[in-house]
Chain A
Amino acid sequence: MEHTESAVRAACRAWLAANWDPNRGLIEWRNILIDSGWGAPAWPKRWYGLDLPVGLVPVVEEEMARIGAVGVAKAGIRVLASATILAHGSDLQKEKFLRRSMTGEDTWCQLFSEPGSGSDVAGAVTRAEMRGNHWVVNGQKVWTTSAHKADWGLLLARTDWDQRKHKGLSYFILDMKQPGVTVQPLRQMNGHASFNQVFITDALVPPEMLVANVGDGWEVTTTTLMHERRGADGLRSWAQASPRPERIYQEERAEIATVMEPYKWYPQRAGRVDLLMPRAIETGAIDDPVIRQDLAKLLTMAKSAEWTARRARAAQEQGRPQGPEGSLGKLAASHIARAAARLHTAISGANALLTGPDSPHTGTIAEILVSVPATSIAGGTDEIQRNIIAERVLKMPREPSIDSDRPFRDVPRNTVR
């Protein structure tokens, strides 16, 4: 197959015509899709892909959408897990995890943040020690979305306290379904509980579940975080369940309902820019000249951010690697969410204060107001994004460091003083 749009389109269409059958089971179909390479066409041929340039992936997506073919599982942390394992994992790890992540059989969570290391992720003090022929892990993680459902966790832990801060970390794949792992939900200010605290007490990790080498933990974590920030550019479409009757759609609907549960307030977190115009028209606020100006300002920012993300994606599709530009989109998304929440307040007035079924849009407006503050914190605060933009994109000098020039055991502990 030539790497041209027409050749890829024709090949994909022909393969789907011969293989797509909505009466198959979801896992059965996804295994067929994965074996063909059309499930992850930009991945290497050796690992379930077709070595397709990233720029041609939308062609495959269009062909699948055209006939309603179900794709591989993509919701949740699994995408970050797959990208990280593909980049840094061993062949054994790729064999064990990539396929089951794409079929949806395995679900994942990310165990990076700790009570004492939020922005300073590299300050992690969860420890992993080699005892006998296993790594033994002890510590506490937090802000862990879907930890209660996850089969596997992407774990950042300290393996060497005599090394400098960033050098003493290692990256593991932790089996979440073991006695040493306890998950407790964490209730948020908007009433939802999609995050968890994870207590790890003498949990075991076999040596082959170390990703890359001992001491490479920070480098591998950076890969995961870059993919996470890239996903915050506002272009991600939320998994939509098809209402069609065949077996595969029934199974997909059930999967989406489960997987998307923790994310159901995420559209509100982003500010619901889509609801502003209808609400302004519905309430009559659209005739207020101040509201009109503010709405136009917000649309200017939101549309410009979308076009910026598309420019970045177009550049990437032309072969430039994923870089820290993702931080620009994430920072823009914070500004947009905050401005949208303020404008929703102005448009809905006192009604914005009401929750529950009789309130505007059954509580959605109020939920926006109490969900937006998460946007500028989760996945790296606005302040950290600005540091990343300044240091990595603009090449400005790093802050003088007082904690990375000595053995980590001599560094003052992160805490609240």
Chain B
Amino acid sequence: MKFSFSAEQDEFRGNLRRLLAERMPTKEVRRLMETATGWEREGWRQLDIALGLSAIAIPEEHGGYGFGFAELCIVLEEFGRALVPAPFLATALAARAILHGGSEADRASLLPAIAAGDTIATLASAEDAGTWAAAATSLTATQSGDGFRLDGHKSFVIDGAAADLILVLARAPGSTGEDGLSLFAADATAPGLTRTNLPVMDPTRRLARLTFTAVPARLLGTAGEAAAPYRRTMMEAAAALANEMVGGAERLREDALAYAMMRMQFGRTIASFQSMKHKQADMLLEVELAKSAAYYAAAAIDEGDEDAEAVASLAKAGAADAYLQTAIHAIQIHGGIGFTWDNDTHLWFKRAKSSEVLFGDGQHHREIMMRNWAA
């Protein structure tokens, strides 16, 4: 296993970080989070195409650049750091679902438009219960002529109200557990599909509830065989989000440190007080541990490591705890100003909280670790 990034990866990260610092200052994040979808299609398209971001981890034969999961995670870490409001995570995970669950023909027909930045996609699997476990799926898919009709609902769908293409996890009527699950692709404009933005606490990540009434949809891959590719997709979702989270956690830590170095009380900077220094040392340790796990998980996925599922869950649980704890410390270090709307800390605090819950909380992921390692 490699424990360092290559010179090319470092350069890619450096360029991306500089560009985001320029184009996505917090002022711009605040402007976008007040818009209807939380981001702007044209602005995102320009950034995406300029950097080829959506194409990064899509295989070359489907119009992508064919880079690894590690490169995708570098983008996510930088996006988490700058808190970029964009449909990047949603589209990237939908592409992974197509890669793992679709047939060769499905991949050839859907991935090129995603790689080109023309299709914004999302994966709809959780429902009102708010769990991402495949077995909890209740939305049904009924065969109708040569196609399928979807009935039911999905919830907590990232960028679900604005996406062009919805990947839907559905089950055959009468099936239970992980049997009878299939992956479908539904067009956002399909008849019978209603999409409602949910009133979210974290305005930088939009979630939607979708209701399906006889929505025509296309089966991807083999009917009834979606449980395994979905599980793999969720493993990658955990690792991907872990990398996004450590980017945000590090930014919070650095900003809190900069503030402590500048804030004067009792005739000295508060950074000179031992209580602040010990807190910052603890924050550095937590963030560095979480970064190591997030990087390791990305590498484990790229290398097909047999521990990848446990490691991805470890990274997600570790990053969630580190991010939220760092956010709590960051607000505390800022004092009263840290509790105001004008101070930026709450933007990351909210992202930390929403990321902790998304794709399963720490308890859920720790149980996945134990199912892998304790047999």
Contact = CB atoms under 8 A, between A and B. Distances in A.
A322 B196 CA distance: 55
A226 to B, nearest CB: 17
Nearest to B274: A399
A276 to B, nearest CB: 10
Given A304-B292, A318-B4, A328-B284, A293 B366 contact: yes
A261 to B, nearest CB: 33
A73 B183 CA distance: 60
B269 A303 contact: no
A406 interface: no
Interface residues of A, number: 40
Given A308-B289, A328-B285, A386-B278, A313 B3 contact: yes
B274 A394 contact: no
Interface string B282-301: 10110011111101100000
B29 interface: no
Interface stretch (A294-302, A344-352, A362-370): A294-302
A393 interface: yes
Given A307-B292, A311-B295, A332-B289, A386 B277 contact: yes
Nearest to B290: A304
Contacts of B341: none
Contact of B272 (A292, A303, A304, A397): A397
Binding site secondary structure of chain B: helix
B285 A331 contact: yes
A390 B370 contact: no
Interface string B252-282: 0000010011000000110110101110111
B144 interface: no
Interface string A274-306: 000100110000100000110111011101110
Nearest to B283: A394
Contacts of B314: 296, 299-300, 303-304
B374 interface: yes
A300 B289 CA distance: 9
Q: Which of A300, A328, A331, A391 has the most CB of B within 10 A?
A: A300
Nearest to A280: B374
A307 B292 CA distance: 6
B293 A303 contact: yes
B281 A389 contact: yes
A389 to B, nearest CB: 4
Interface string A330-346: 01100000000000000
Interface in A362-417: 383, 385-387, 389-391, 393-394, 396-400
A300 B293 contact: yes
B317 A300 contact: yes
A203 B353 CA distance: 63
A206 B110 CA distance: 81
A396 B280 contact: yes
B269 A397 contact: yes
Nearest to B299: A307
A10 interface: no
A307 B293 contact: yes
B292 A311 contact: yes
Contact of A389 (B284, B291, B367): B284
B191 to A, nearest CB: 45
A315 interface: yes
Contact of A277 (B2, B276, B282, B373): B373
Contacts of A331: 281, 285
Given A307-B292, A396-B261, A399-B274, 18 more contacts: A292-B374, A293-B367, A296-B317, A296-B370, A301-B289, A303-B311, A304-B293, A311-B3, A311-B292, A311-B295, A314-B3, A328-B284, A331-B281, A331-B285, A386-B278, A387-B278, A389-B285, A399-B272
Interface of B: 2-4, 257, 260-261, 268-269, 271-272, 274, 276-278, 280-282, 284-285, 288-293, 295-296, 311, 314, 317-318, 363, 366-367, 369-370, 373-374
